[in-house]
């Protein structure tokens, strides 16, 4: 008679005489053994102090059910004093690998610090999701109140919105702006805002979204006295320039001819106006929008 065909009561009694490794092997013998013995396997593993290893395995392989079985039997989340180390943060690992349902379980049970960095980059889960362009992961993280959407890194004080603006990911920027506690105009260590980076890189969809936000100052200047318009001009990003200028007046109703200089002069900083006057290609590209 095969072990897997034993009555459930006998299987459960048998497992009390097995070592944890032997119990794991029996659990994998058949789908019936798995269904009956798996809860006992996780309970034994947690009792043996192996919860971190088990949760990390779930994070590594995207095993949402495994994560839930571990976490629902864990009496409380690990204390903050525990230092998981370089690669032992399940939440960051699951985020980096794109395992949305595992991340959902870890957040639900409060397992780990959602604003802690991991690995050589020391990026938070939210920034890891933004770097990978994983919009569903970003949304899951932003739904959780404990995730700080304005968290600044220690190196250059980039917020998640800085990173999304640099990447030009409009969907992620839109999701970030929907958080009621978002600070869309937060400067980094160079006093540059997300709008400044989006304008510099020609990410017009992001520029448009940020300009629609009443908390964003299009005139903000960095440590060098440079405004978003300056960066858009320097890089020749005419789409971004058009958006930044059109925020000041209705282009369709603006007059033509010599008034172009006066309109630009009233809006640009001295630096970007100098570039406009001296750089032929930029001047020609921008003039076509207004003349």
Q: Quick one: pLDDT at residue 39?
A: 72
Percent of the chain with pLDDT over 90: 37
Residue from 55, 10, 76 nearest 37 by CA = 10
Do the domain assignments include residue 182?
Answer: yes
Do the domain assignments include residue 248?
Answer: yes
Do the domain assignments include residue 17?
Answer: no
pLDDT band with cut points at 50, 70 and 90 for residue 256: very low
Please say whether the beta carbons of 124 and 114 come within 8 A. yes
Distance linking the first and last C-alpha atoms of the chain: 90
Please say whether the beta carbons of 148 and 186 come within 8 A. no
96-132, pLDDT tens digit by residue?
A: 899 999 999 999 888 878 888 765 556 899 999 999 9
Please say whether the beta carbons of 103 and 140 come within 8 A. yes
- 168: CATH: 1.25.40.20
Q: Quick one: pLDDT at residue 287?
A: 59
Total structural domains within the chain: 1
pLDDT band with cut points at 50, 70 and 90 for residue 272: low
- CA atoms of 240 and 227, how far apart (whole Å): 13
Do the domain assignments include residue 244?
Answer: yes
Host domain of residue 182: 164-291
Do the domain assignments include residue 24?
Answer: no
Residue from 140, 26, 57, 22 nearest 65 by CA = 57
Do the domain assignments include residue 16?
Answer: no
Q: Which residue has the higher pLDDT, 264 or 29?
A: 29
Q: Which residue has the higher pLDDT, 170 or 61?
A: 170
- CA atoms of 46 and 121, how far apart (whole Å): 31
118, β-bridge pairs = 123
Record the pTM: 0.74
Do the domain assignments include residue 98?
Answer: no
**Residue 6 dihedral angles phi and psi, to the nearest 5°:** -65, 150
Alpha helices in 178-250 (DSSP H): 194-200, 204-211, 228-234, 238-246
Do the domain assignments include residue 88?
Answer: no
């Amino acid at each position: 008679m095969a072990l897997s065909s034993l009555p459930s009561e006998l299987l459960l009694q048998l497992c009390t005489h097995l070592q944890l490794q032997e119990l794991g092997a029996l659990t994998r013998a058949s789908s019936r053994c798995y269904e009956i013995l798996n809860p006992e396997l996780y309970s034994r593993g947690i009792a043996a102090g192996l919860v971190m290893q088990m949760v990390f395995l779930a994070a590594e392989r995207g095993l949402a059910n495994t994560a839930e079985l571990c976490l629902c039997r864990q009496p409380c989340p690990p204390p903050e004093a525990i230092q998981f180390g370089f690669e032992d943060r399940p939440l960051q690992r699951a985020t980096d690998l794109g395992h949305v349902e595992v991340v959902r379980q870890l957040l639900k049970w409060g397992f780990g610090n959602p604003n802690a960095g991991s690995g050589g980059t020391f990026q938070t889960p939210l920034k890891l999701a933004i770097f990978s362009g994983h919009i569903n992961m970003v949304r899951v993280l932003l739904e959780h109140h404990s995730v700080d959407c304005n968290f600044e890194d220690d190196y250059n004080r980039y917020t998640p919105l800085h990173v999304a603006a640099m990447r030009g990911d409009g969907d992620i920027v839109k999701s970030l702006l929907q958080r009621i506690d978002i600070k869309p105009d937060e400067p980094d260590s160079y006093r540059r805002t997300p709008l400044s980076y989006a304008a510099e890189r020609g990410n017009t969809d992001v520029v448009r979204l940020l300009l629609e936000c009443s908390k964003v100052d299009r005139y903000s200047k960095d440590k060098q006295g440079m405004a978003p318009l300056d960066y858009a001009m320097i890089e020749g990003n005419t789409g971004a320039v058009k958006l930044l200028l059109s925020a000041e007046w209705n282009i369709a109703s603006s007059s033509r001819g010599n008034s172009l200089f006066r309109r630009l002069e009233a809006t640009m900083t001295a630096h970007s106006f100098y570039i406009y006057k001296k750089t032929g290609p930029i001047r020609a590209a921008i003039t076509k929008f207004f003349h």
